[in-house]
Structure 1
C-alpha cells in the first residue's frame, strides 16, 4: 500500500503533539477530565500507532476532583532533549478558574514520569517548549493581550525563558504575535521551530470548531518581531463547507523524518448524521513541504484528506487492540479510563479472576465526581458493543449496567435495578425511561449497535438470545455539537448506589467492541 487512511488515531484524541527520537515517533493528546491523563503513543512510520502508556498515571500527578466536564488537562506538548522527554500541559480548573501550567519529565517515553513542576506566573493554555541551539529553553503559551482584548476571545502568544535547574520561568516575557488575521479569535496552540536559521511560530486560530485554522509566522530572532505568512491560514477546512467529511481542522504540530520529509499532525472531526461529531476531535496526518522559506501543507491540495500518500518510511504495524477484553489480566488495558481521579477501592480484576468487579459507590454519573465507572472511547461511526453482567440489586437505589456517555447531562444508560431493566435517556440534565422490561435474573447480557446516529439496544438472559429493548434511538445527544464541551463519546460499565452506602457489587465477564464499517 502506498497510501494511508485518516484519522491515524480515531476517536477522542485531540490536540496532538509529536516529537522524533532517532527513527521513533512519539505523540500525546489531551485528556480533559479523564484519568489516567495524556495518552502517549509510539510509531515507526507515522501511520501505525500503538499506545504505550499515559504521562499522568498516578493520583499524585493529577488531582481531578470536582473538575467539570471538558475541563482538566488541555493540550500537551511533547519534546525530547539530551536524553530526557518533556511534556508540558495546562490544567484548567473550571470555566472561570485558574489555568495552571506544569511540565513533567521522563527518561523513557513509557515512564515513569516525574511529579509535576508547576510554573509560576505562567498564564494561558496550550503551553509548549522549545529547546534552542544555544542551550536556552523557552515556554510559550497564550494570554489576554496586556493592552486589553480588542474583540471577543482576542489572545496573544507570549514567550519566556525556562530555567531547567529551578524548574521556573526566568527573565522577561515577550509578546510574540496575536495572529495572522485580525478578528479571527482564540489565538492558541503555539509551537516554535528553528529551520534553516529561522524561527517559525505555528499557532491555531478561530477556535476549535468550524472556523478552526492553522497560521504561521517567522523571525530571525526567537523574541521577534514575527512576520506572518501571506499565505495564512496555511491549513483550514472552513472554506470547504459544513458537509465536507473532515471539518474543524486545526491545532497542528510538525516533525521531520529520518528521510528529510516533513509532516504535520493536527486535529479534525468527522461529522455524520448532520453536523454531529460523536467521535470528538481526532488525530490526523498531513504532508508538509517548504517553499521559499514557508511551510506549505499538502501541496496541490492544501487540505487534510481521508486518504493520502504514505510517508517514505518502512511500514511498521503493531498488534491491533483485541476486540474483546475478557478481564483476565491483573491491570486494566491502556484504552480504559476513569472519570476523574479514581478515589476508593471500587474496582478489581483480582477479587474474581476473569471478571471486572465494580463496587457500588454513592456517586452517580451525573455529578462532577468520581463514579464507579470504567470506559473507553467510541472510535467508529458504526460499531457494536456488548457485555455480560452479574448483579443482584438488594435495594431500590442500587443500579449497574452499560452507559453511552457524552457528559454528566447527556447520556444513555442501560441499567439493572430491582425487578426490571430500563433504558434511560438523559438529555440536558433531564431523565426519561424510554424502555422498561421486567427482569429478575442475576445474569444479563447488554448489546448496543450503532449505524450512524441510529442506536439499537438489545438484552438477553442467555448468550446470543438477543431481544430488542429499543431501536432507532437518536445518538446525536452524544455529540459535543449537541451537548457542548470538547470531548468525544465514551462507552462504559458502571455501578451506583445513588447517594446511599452499599456493600454490593456488579461483575462484568467481558467487554467487546467491534467496528462495523
Structure 2
C-alpha cells in the first residue's frame, strides 16, 4: 500500500486552511510577526506541496511595525468562488490584543493579492467565509457571548452576512454555538460547509496547546440551531499523553477531492527531548469518512499517524528545492522571511552579485522592531546549517547566524568587536537575560559558520579555511527555542543578522551562501 509521511508541511506552518479548484489544491498558514505574511502552497495530490508565494507580500498590505512577538497575522482561511480567491484573517495589532479582521482577493493564487478590505464590527479571531448555494456569503468568527462568559476563555461562534459589493457585514448577527464540551474554552477556528442537506460547523476547542481538539455540529439552516455531534471531539490527541509523538492536534479544515473522498488538514506538533516543540505547530493531513451524516477521522483509529495511506490521487511531485541558496537571483527565495515589515534598504542581492549583503541598523534582535535579519524555519529535529560570511567588525557592530524563538529567547553566533578585540562569540538570551556562553579571539575578514542540531543538542562551529571546522560550543541545550519555555505561538527560525547594537553604523556583512540540510 502506498503511504505518505506526516507532517505535510514540517516546521512552523500552523492553522492550515485549504481549498480545491478542479484538480488543484491551495493551502495557507499563519505567520504572526513575520513578513511576508501568509505563505500559499499548491498541490495536486494533497501530499506534495510547493510554495507559490505569499498572500501579504507588500508593506501596503501588512504593516507589522512594533507588533509584539506572536501577535500579528492569525489563522487565515482560503476559499474560492466564481473565479476569485479569498483569504480572510485576523491582525492582532498589539500586546493588549486589539484585533482587526480583513480579507484580500486575487484571480491568481500566486498573486498579486489586493490590499486589505477591513471589516468593521467584527470582533474575535479566526474568521472564515462561507459561500452558500443561494448566492449569499457569510462571515463566521468567535466572540465573547453577549450574555457574558460562564468561565475563562468561554467564546461563542457567530455569523453574519457579508455583502461583497459594499464590502461590509450586513443584517442580523447570529450566535451559532458555544462548542461541544462542558466548560470548553477557546472556541475558535470556525469553518462552515454545506454537505447534502446539512450545514456543518467545525471548530477548534480547548486552546492551541495540549488540550486542543476539533469538534463539529450541524443544522438544516445556516443560522441554526446547531446540533452537536455525539461523537465529539472528532479529533484530539490529549488523551494520548505528552509522550505521544504527535500532540496538540486541532484547528482543522476539510476538503473533498475530485474523486469524492474527504480529507482534513490540521495543526499539530512533534515534541522531542521532552515536551519541547522547537518546530512549532506544523500542518498534517488525515483521511475522513462519513457515517450517518457525521465525519469520522481516520476510521478505526481516530488519530493522526506519522505514516498514512496515500490519497486516491495521482502522485505529483515538485522539483526538489536546493539545500544551498547562493543568493544569485534578483529576489529572495520564498523560504526567507523578515521580522516584521522591512523598513529601510538594509539588504541587497545586487550590490555584490552572488551575495546577500546585510547592512547594520541600530535595531537589535532583542528589540520589538525590524532588525537587519532574514531567516527561515527550522523544519527538522536534526539539521546542519552553515554560511560563509565576509565581515570586518567595528566598535558596537556584530554579525553572524541567529537561532531565534523570540526577541527574548534566542542564540546569536556572532562576530563582533569588543574593547578593540575581534571576538567570535555565542550569546544565549533567555527571558531577557544575556550570557556569553563562549568566545574566541579571531581576526579574519572571512569566516565560515555552522550550526548543528541533534535534537535538543545544538553545536556551533567555525572555520577560517573551508571545511577546517573548530567547535566553539558543543551540545548546548536548545529548549529555549521552544514555546514551552518562551511562550507564544511560533516555531524556531534560523537566519543571518547584523546589528549596530543601538548605534548608527556603515558596516555591512556579505553572505556568500546559506546551506540547510535536515532530517528527523
TM-score (norm 2): 0.99
1:259-306 alpha-carbon deviations (Å, 9 max, x no partner): 110000000000000000000000000000111000110000000100
Q: Are 1:151 and 2:154 matched, yes or no? A: no
Which residue pairs with 1:404 in the alignment?
A: 403
Indicate the residue corresponding to 1:502 in structure 2: 505
1:121 and 2:134 are equivalent in the alignment: no
> What is the CA deviation profile of residues 48-80 of structure 1, one whole-angstrom value per residue up to 9, with x for unaligned ones?
000000000000000000000000000000000
Is 1:276 aligned to residue 279 of structure 2? Answer: no
**Equivalent position of 1:471 in the other structure:** 474
- Matched with 1:200 is 200
> Which of 506, 513, 517 is the aligned partner of 2:516?
513
- Structure 1 residues without counterparts, runs of 5 or longer: none
Residues 68-109 of structure 1: per-residue CA shift (max 9 Å, x gap): 000000000000000000000000012323110000000000
Cα offsets for 1:350-405 (capped at 9, x unmatched): 0000000000000000011000000000000011100010001122x011110000
Shift of residue 182, structure 1, vs aligned partner: 1.8
- Asked if the contact 1:65–1:369 (Cα under 8 Å) also holds between the matched residues in 2, the reply is yes
- In structure 2, distance between residues paired with 1:457 and 1:498: 22
For 1:200-244, what per-residue CA distance to the aligned partner results, in whole angstroms no more than 9, with x for missing partners?
Answer: 000000000000000000000000000000000000000111100
Which residue of 2 is the match for residue 375 of structure 1?
375
Between 1:93-102 and 1:491-500, the stretch displaced more is 93-102
1:327 offset after TM fit, Å?
A: 0.4
1:420 maps to: 423
| 8 A Cα contact 1:384 1:516, kept in partner | no
Distance in 2 separating the partners of 1:321 and 1:119: 38
CA distances 1:394-447 after superposition (whole Å, capped 9, x unpaired): 22x011110000000000010001211100010000000001100111101110
Number of aligned residue pairs: give it: 516
- With normalisation by structure 1, the TM-score equals 0.99
Query: Is the partner of 2:405 in helix, strand or coil?
Result: strand
- Residues 204-219 of structure 1: matches in 2 within 5 Å? 204-219=204-219
**Which position in structure 2 is the counterpart of 1:267?**
267
Q: How is 1:266-415 mapped onto 2 (pairs within 5 angstroms)? A: 266-395=266-395, 397-415=396-414
Between 497-506 and 373-382, report the one with greater CA deviation: 497-506
Deviation at 1:329, TM superposition (A): 0.6
CA distance in 1 between counterparts of 2:146 and 2:278 reads 38
User: What is the aligned partner in structure 2 of residue 99 from structure 1?
Assistant: 99
CA-atom RMSD in angstroms: 0.6
**CA separation in 1, counterparts of 2:282 and 2:267?**
5
Distance 1:392 1:167 in 2: 53
Structure 1 contact 383–515 (Cα < 8 Å) conserved: yes
1:431 aligns with 2:434: yes
Tell me the distance in 2 between the aligned counterparts of 1:515 and 1:321: 13
Contact 1:268–1:281 (8 Å) recurs in 2? yes
Q: What CA distance in whole angstroms lies between the structure 2 residues aligned with 1:482 and 1:275?
A: 10
Q: Which residue of 1 aligns with 2:33?
A: 33
Counterpart-to-counterpart distance in 1, 2:92 and 2:307 = 35
Q: Give the distance between the partners of 1:481 and 1:245, measured in 2 at CA.
A: 16
Distance in 1 (alpha carbons) for counterparts of 2:454 and 2:423: 27
- 1:197, distance to aligned residue in structure 2 (A): 1.7
Q: Match for residue 232 of structure 1?
A: 232
Structure 2 unaligned spans of 5+: none
- What SS class does the counterpart of residue 481 from structure 1 fall into? helix
- Alpha-carbon distance between aligned partners in 1 of 2:157 and 2:164, rounded to the nearest angstrom: 22
Question: Using the alignment, how far apart are the partners of 2:335 and 2:519 within structure 1?
Answer: 19
Distance 2:386 2:378 in 1: 13
Q: Which deviations, in whole Å up to 9, do the C-alpha atoms of 1:241-266 show, x marking residues without a partner?
A: 11000000000000000111000000
Classify the secondary structure of the residue corresponding to 2:14. Answer: coil
Secondary structure of the residue that 1:170 maps to in structure 2? strand
State how far apart, in whole Å, the 1-side matches of 2:151 and 2:519 are. Answer: 45
Residue in 1 that maps onto 2:493: 490
Question: Counterpart of 1:8 in 2: which secondary structure?
Answer: coil
Measure, in 2, the Cα distance between the counterparts of 1:320 and 1:207.
35
The match for 2:453 is: 450
2: CA distance, partners of 1:318 / 1:469: 38
Return the offset for 1:137.
0.1
Q: Distance in 2 between matches of 1:267 and 1:95?
A: 24
Question: What is the alpha-carbon distance in structure 1 between the residues aligned to residue 97 and residue 229 of structure 2?
Answer: 35
Instruction: Write out aligned runs for 1:151-170 (5 A).
Output: 151-170=151-170
